[in-house]
Amino acid sequence: MEVFMEAAAYLESQHIPVEAVGEPSPDPLQEDVFPEEDLFSPHQTDSMDLPDTPVLRTPVEMLDRRLMVLRTILDSERIYLNELETLLMPMKALKATAGTSQPVLSSQQVQTVFYQVPELRDLHRDFYTGLRDRLGHLEPQAHPETDNGPRPGLGLEQGEEKEQGQSGYQLMVGDLFLKIVSQLGVYRGFIDNYESAVEIMRRCTQTDQRFRILAESMMSHNGSDRTKTKYTFEALLYKPLDRITKTTLVLHDLLKHTPQQHSDHPMLQEVLRLSRGFLSGVNEGSQCKREVTLSRGMRRQLIRDGFVVDVCEGGRNLRHLFLYTDLLLCTKLKGGAQGKQPQYRFCWYLPMAGLKLHWGPEMELTTDTHHRIHATRAKMYLLRHELRQTMKCLAARTIERSRWKKMEQLELMILTHSPLLPLELHSPSGKSHTLVMSSLYELEEWREAIHKLTGDNREMVPPDLLTLTSSCVKLRMTQQPPFHSILPGEEQSLCGTLSVAVHSASGLQQPASVYVCVEVDGFEFYESHAQTHSSVSSLSPHWDQEFSFQVDGAQNLRVLCVLQTEEGESCEDRVLCKTSIQLDPGLLQKRWRRQTLSLGQVEVTMSLKYCPHPLDPPCLTPAQQQSIFCIPIGAVAQQEGVLVPHVVRCCVEEVERRGLEEVGIYRLSAATSDITNLKTAFNTSLREAVSRLRCVDVNAVSGILKLYFRELPEPLIPTELFQSFTKALDIPDLSSRSVTMLSLLQSCPSVNQNTFLFLLHHLKRVSDRQHVNKMPLMNLATVFGPSLLRPTVAVLGQCSPTVDISQEVEVQVQVVYFYLQCDNLPEAQTCISHDTETTEEDETTNI
């Protein structure tokens, strides 16, 4: 608050209005979009953050101010030329020493350090001379009472004012600005060479005392009074970079004070357009553009910026985050609507030194928020459909501006309230902030960038927050939130169903429990991310898990491999590696296409399939997952597109991850409430259920697995085979009995057979640790037999063999026990094969 008050006092001293603070913030859902005056539209030309200027009502007043702007430009050009001349002063001496036995710089290095500087000097010298000559004809007579003379147009008689106005209309400078802007390509070469020049200069400063003395004390004339200013060589080398932005700024100001009826107005409009085009084409991410000189010889550099959601006191706000080499700055972007300058307002900052990061568990939204988000998605879908219909009509484009604006408002609501992945920031000073993002890929990019800068020994210069925040307009690389309102090229994006099957991974350095996250971009009308269940600790994990995305405007697929670890009682995940691939509609087909993606140290094998088709509108309410308990196992497997239901695989792999040495696993019961909660989770959200599996008691995991088989309406081994199994157990010859038993197993439906095999192999691995968990094969058969095999229920009026309860249990246990003792059981297939259609299309993609 003290920082804000200091900033407010400064702004008031400059006659700049300051917003009041301390008012209660509105409900975050009521303020689901920015107010109209704060919207920043991608359809408007971005403007620089200039100081406020008085409203000028008459053309004469505008011409008066225009003349002042031109004289200011002239003074600035004179100073800039002096700086360029000072920068070039040592060039001849350095060239001369290059041919001696003790050169300061080689000829090639001299050429690199001063690359394009002479051309820049000549360019601006011509411009300065032309502007000076034209302004010389309008110089006022010296005022007897002041040194500077009267300000033109102020305090003049009516006739003098009219004459001044006519002279202002006759003054043409647009051609001078057009000439210099048309030659801005000279700056392009300077920018591309800048980093190499700075590297040579810094290296030579450290190794050569002669150059160091020269580079640290360069003097330049800085005004009409011939006073000199001391510069470093590096500071002078940075001047042309700063000049690029200033050119656009002064053009904006000059055009603003040029009446529309002035002959220069259309030409200056074109000049400003060209200047902005060049400025936007300059790589805003280049390090030279982002460095800010600080005290003590440090350089603060902008590493990354972007829009994130800041969670504060339960509210959510979309903020523009700037990551510098020594601090993290959070700001609010204001303005940018028509007729308003974009401005940044300071929110908070954290030093990089000692900053701790924590990727927290996925947040939960209230039911009301879920419904509002889905309703907003449905509105966006309908609005975009209407815009698509009218985009073909040129005359309708101006009419549809209000719809574009409404589309942006709806997207802002989605961007603000739908993200669920928190990144917690904890400073050694005790300050903490939570950022929430919708993409794990984006979160990991931020985490990586921040983590590299969090060394305890990193020096942090206390920032001038007012100056730093106001400079964000010039330094920013990201101009606006990640809108999709501007329609992507239909031929370059996907619209329809994208199916992704994640098969396996290889390349892990040591056995680990990992899972794969898949994200797809485009309009957020539907779910755009999914993740596999966590694998058992392995060097070569397998998932064979399939996902289906409804996509609109999708262009990129992001894949992340995440390591699941435990620290005490808390689970802490870590992204091992990631990659992003472009989705090419021309390569994707309606048949499965197998790919191996290189994510760095890990390779992930997956298959992709794309079916283009018109999409149905998203539901107004959140889509509810179909229940899986008390549902025939074949229906569940078909719904999930697998041969072994996810509930079975997830529970088995969680038990193998942390329950193989648990005494009495599958025999001891867990709390009924834990099992009930897990059942509810599996019936509503697989992702939530998998997340809960990791945190509950492992006996609850084994309990929910037993409950799933027990509540199947039809047992895993069909009831009509019960009598056949009973007879097979009575076969005296072991070899014949084995053949019959395996034949009966093969007669089961594919899902039942593979699920049973999957469970049997798991139980055998549990029994391998019986010396610790006290669960031999017979115990396991006793636990699972009654759930997996049941006799046919007698129906009134039908004849069926009578089986007493003791014989029934004995058959159930003996059948399972027999299979557990088999050494030649086939391996289970967990997923429908995606290879049958890709024999001629297999490929490996290294990214």
Query: What percent of the chain shows pLDDT beyond 90?
Result: 26
Predicted pLDDT at 535:
82
Query: Across the strands, what pairs with 560?
Result: 517, 578
Query: Across the strands, what pairs with 501?
Result: 546, 607
pLDDT of residue 693 exceeding 90, the answer is no
Predicted pLDDT at 155:
38
Convert the pLDDT of each residue in 244-278 to its tens digit: 777 777 887 888 888 888 888 888 888 888 887 77
Q: Are 446 and 437 in contact (CB under 8 A)?
A: yes
pLDDT of residue 292 exceeding 60, the answer is no
- The mean pLDDT of the chain is 78
Distance CA 607, CA 500 (A): 6
Predicted pLDDT at 364:
81
Convert the pLDDT of each residue in 457-516 to its tens digit: 555 666 777 778 888 888 888 877 887 765 444 557 888 999 999 999 999 988 888 899
Q: Are 787 and 677 in contact (CB under 8 A)?
A: no
Predicted pLDDT at 65:
83
Q: Which domains are delineated in the chain? A: 59-139+153-283 (1.20.900.10), 299-364+420-475 (2.30.29.30), 490-623+632-641 (2.60.40.150)
**Widest CA span of the chain, in angstroms?**
130
SS3 content of the chain, % helix, strand, coil (to 5): 45, 20, 35
Convert the pLDDT of each residue in 41-52 to its tens digit: 333 333 333 233
Predicted pLDDT at 724:
92
Coil, helix or strand for 89?
coil
pLDDT of residue 35 exceeding 50, the answer is no
Does 410 or 164 have the greater pLDDT score? Answer: 410
Sign of CA dihedral 292, 295, 299, 301: negative
Distance CA 18, CA 52 (A): 13
- Directed axis angle between helix 672-684 and helix 686-693, to 10°? 150
Q: What is the pTM of this model?
A: 0.61
Convert the pLDDT of each residue in 730-788 to its tens digit: 998 989 999 999 999 999 999 999 999 999 999 999 999 999 999 999 999 999 999 99
Convert the pLDDT of each residue in 343-398 to its tens digit: 888 899 998 888 999 988 888 888 888 888 888 888 888 888 777 777 655 555 55
Kindly state the tokens that stand for 322: 């700037």
